Homo-oligomer: A and B are copies of this chain.
């Protein structure tokens, strides 16, 4: 059995390009006792992967040069010598950017496609959805009538943040790029408003969209959106800083004035809380409540989602580069092989 793999060829400086990846086949060993062979169906692409391509200190180990790119995947068991899995089982695991994988079952979870569509387990029902859930509810703590602003509002995390905020009785204001994404956020996802971070009047636009100021800013992207949101924070505002951000990896920005003293003054004057979080730290304690609560919202249509699908593993690097540029619309997936549960 062979596996097609996308590996890290060299570390990027700034935006990754096709040259940072290479693609090749390896032969998988014969299946040993206690192992399973998995055919990967869906590969999730997420901004955090950009961070793993650097060798700087972070909350997770970097991918080594020549190693398979890391990533969450959904697959189907082709062969099992493990008592916990049978041929045909659908599974969720960190099999990475490859077509087939052998695993001893550690960290692999069986999925029932009747509960929610397979692909959602790396999207709204998976890590991005859980990120939105713990960041918004546990750190942001939105109260009825408050205003929640979220950047990358049409993305896998942001779209759940805004819809959850609405469900909790808050005003949800998105920040997105192009007009079609802003329209989608308001018209399809039901946000109260959405402004474009490409607008020259971003701060004024955001101010107009938040007539009562901002109580929770879900920080998901960095840059000018953070500045605009900071300037509008209400006293006792909360800023969860989401662990999927890659943008701080792009190195120092020269020439700008130092914004740190002003930030510290805002933190003090308005008693703001800024708190970083990584979803994996909080998954154990919150996974069950999340699946129950958000699963119900997905089934009754109160939380909607959209997917952008790249066809074939060979297109994963291009799709990933597009994701970092904001070219995707909703959750970015790669269809590595056919999903038998989809028409």
Contacts and interface: CB of A to CB of B under 8 A. Distances in A.
A219 B249 CA distance: 26
A264 B219 contact: yes
The bracket for how many chain A residues form the interface is 35 or more
Contacts of A269: 57-59, 276
A143 interface: no
B261 A267 contact: no
Contacts of A115: none
B263 A271 contact: no
A239 to B, nearest CB: 9
A191 to B, nearest CB: 24
A180 B257 CA distance: 36
A103 B95 CA distance: 73
A258 B256 contact: yes
A324 interface: no
A258 B252 CA distance: 8
Given A241-B264, A257-B258, A273-B276, 18 more contacts: A219-B264, A226-B264, A241-B267, A243-B268, A248-B262, A248-B264, A252-B257, A252-B262, A253-B261, A256-B257, A256-B258, A259-B260, A267-B275, A268-B278, A269-B276, A271-B281, A274-B274, A274-B275
Interface of A: 57-59, 219, 222, 226, 235, 241-243, 245, 248-249, 252-254, 256-278, 281
23 contacts: A59-B271, A222-B261, A222-B264, A226-B264, A243-B268, A248-B261, A248-B262, A252-B258, A253-B258, A256-B258, A258-B259, A258-B260, A259-B259, A260-B260, A263-B263, A266-B276, A270-B276, A271-B277, A271-B281, A272-B275, A272-B276, A274-B274, A275-B275
